[in-house]
Amino acid sequence: MSNRWEGPLDKVDRFRWRIPKTYKDGMRVPGLIYMDEEHIDIIRQDKAPEQVANAAHLPGMVGASLAMPDIHWGYGFAIGGVGATRLDDGVISPGGVGFDINCGVRLLKTNLSEEDVRPYLDKLVDRLFRNIPSGVGSKGTLVLTKYEISEVLEKGAAWAVEKGYGRPRDLDMTEERGCMKGAKANKVSDRAYKRGMPQLGTLGSGNHFLEIQVIDELFDKDIAEKLGLSEDQVVMMIHSGSRGLGHQVCTDYLKTMERAVRKYDINIPDRQLACAPLNSPEGKDYFAAMAAAANYAWANRQVMMHLARQTFGEIFKRRPEDLGMDLIYDVAHNIAKIEEHVVDEKNLRVCVHRKGATRAFPPGHPDIPEEYSDIGQPVLVPGDMGRASYLLVGTEKALQETFGSSCHGAGRLMSRTAAKKTTSGMSVQSKLRDKGIIVKAASRGVLAEEAPEAYKDVNEVVRVCHEAGISLRVARMRPMGVVKG
């Protein structure tokens, strides 16, 4: 049986394709997928468009059930999916957030060039691999008590900065300042606490990484200059999330939501979209627990960044401050947030689910750092470890069309199983080394799963977002050294 999707995709304009409300009974809004005509067939290669249509059934959904050009099959929502629900009669769905709550990315700069770093690259990657634990179930040197974890859940990245893992300015450069309001530690289960206690400051597994990159192209030199970026400058990207704690929060509340669907007589076409009214006890409890897990993820990335700064300092025998290691920004990819948007020409507070999608707010928006008010929010888009990653900025058009959202990465072309059947970790490592990219991973299996050919071309995904006007390219970064989970 083919996995190809054969449903209707009506062309709206050069970069938007509509799944009409008439496609399935019960759709409250149409589906809307961002992609160009040249690559639209890629969208049909799995059933992710069906998930876009299914999400359109959620009570209170407004506008459209959206998908970014990195769309692929996920749990509940497609990865790359965005959906907003009204607060008064809408729902919240863990399947619209994901298991790795606040999986996200941060980018920090250095004042080093590729020529400065290249002689030390092997040693630097090796030391980062040793200093920042990675892999399935990895545990860090920071083993916290339950009380300390509860503080992390409610304070987020601020907890880490208070403990000496970073600087106050780091919080200014983090989405939500690294702490989501409404988080309640007592809504997180003991099992989730137990999983989170030994894992703060660890990378995790799968597509998580720490990557040393060099800027090889600038698309907007004025914005780049305001960010302190130039060609041939070395930067570092950290991609991780809430580890076992966030996974457990999602697992726990999916069971709660399955009961809530029956209790509130909610009709959904896919049980993976199990949900509860936002104003119900179940909905409020999940939001509070999800926010707590998001705070854990921000603290996790904050601690890892501190360890990475220290490692650079060890290798180059200079203080991180003297190496110019300032945080540019940190964005969340898997999250649900209460935001105000214009819907049907009226200001409306909605719950925006972003599942494998990045917030992309425009210049002047009150929720972005003041020093970025004239350029817009940085949008960080990691690619695969063989090609490139991007820095973009948010736009007014994104606010109008996508609830202020953009893509979050390249998007998978192959499942992990299929990728492992087509290549080996040793082969991937060897090919990358031939390209001057040094890679260390917790296992060779992970390298095979994360082979560049398992992903769409991030250059094309980002081009669609740029030309569609939902985020604008500023810089492209080429990988030099990669630590993989």
Q: Which residues are catalytic?
A: 408
Nearest of 274, 280, 295, 363 to residue 94 by alpha carbon: 274
Write down how long the chain is. 485
State residue 298 phi and psi, 5-degree precision: -65, -40
Distance CA 306, CA 329 (A): 14
User: What's the distance, CA 58 to chain centroid?
Assistant: 23
Which residue bears the tokens 């570092």? Answer: 236
